[in-house]
Amino acid sequence: MTFCPRIAITVGDPAGIGPEIAHKAASDPRVLEVCEPIVFETPSVGIAPGVLSGDAGRVAYDTIVRAVTAATEGQVDAIATAPVNKEAFRLAGLPWNGHTDLLAHLTGTSRVAMMFHSDKLCVVLATIHIPLAEVPRALTRALLEETIRLTAKELPGFGIPSPRLAVAGLNPHAGEHGLFGNEEQQAMSPAIRSCRDAGIDVSGPFPGDTVFLRASRGEFDVVIACYHDQGLIPVKLLAFGEAVNVTLGLPIVRTSVDHGTAFDIAGRNLADPSSMVAAVRLAARLARGRARG
């Protein structure tokens, strides 16, 4: 009998579009043909659509915890999450910036990475939700080595047995040999050399204004970006609504949408579930791969 994975779909922040896209995706024929979707939501009486609140943040958190518990106990085979609101988490007194670090905490995972996966371009972020001014200090050789190694380890699960990785430079022209910054010389190049010596097919750092184009044309399987917007701008330009956020390094499969809570259209039945559909379908694909493995 063909394995049909059970996919938990969490509704995210109940004041956003998460409940709408979760239910739309769960009934979509493209989802039903590949898995058994199960919507996870927590009663949210008194929470108004489009209104930021700590109550909504707490409800979103409680739902995620239940879904992670179900996944770790084998009740579901993967999780696909609708978006949460980081400010609502803060108002709820929660210390996490969003799904990625919360999921790492809940599963006891020391190192995770955020990847955006699409047929047109795949990007992994070396740093995520930190101020831009803090990126150069955070972008250490150790961090880059960990990110490269984790990416190379995880990509075979996406059907890429021998992944080709490229690293985007931090500075204009990837520093131009120190003329426009020395992060490439001091941290990035040594990390890349170390990983290459370990047998990983990784190259760079390449100028950020061309490396994503090269990857979109098939030269690389994934680009490791230095910071949030450097990686997400090209992904969303090429594949908004089709890209899927995947957390690498977790003991469970977790995917998510490529957009936020969209409070401006919440409760109006206007939300497009395309990214949620893509997230669930990829979760099902990854769950089947793990079951075979």
pLDDT in the model for residue 223: 98
CB 261, CB 84: distance < 8 Å: yes
CB 115, CB 77: distance < 8 Å: no
Q: How many helices (DSSP H) and strands (DSSP E) are in the chain?
A: 12, 10
pLDDT in the model for residue 180: 85
**CATH of segment(s) 1-109+250-293:** 3.40.718.10
Domain range 113-240, CATH class: alpha beta
pLDDT digit string, tens, across residues 10-48: 999 999 999 999 999 999 999 999 999 999 999 888 899
pLDDT mean over 231-258: 95
* Total-model pTM: 0.92
pLDDT in the model for residue 17: 97
Whether residue 190 has a cis bond before it, omega within 30° of 0? no
What's the first-to-final CA gap in the chain, in angstroms?
17
Supply 204's token pair: 């760079």
Q: Does the fold of domain 113-240 match that of domain 1-109+250-293?
A: yes
pLDDT in the model for residue 1: 52
Could you tell me the residue ranges of all domains in the chain? Answer: 1-109+250-293, 113-240
Q: Measured between alpha carbons, how far is residue 241 from residues 89, 209, 236, 283 in Å? A: 24, 23, 8, 16
CA proximity to 169, closest of 120, 209, 205: 205
Half-sphere exposure of 232 (CA within 13 A, CB side): 16
| Length reported for the chain | 293
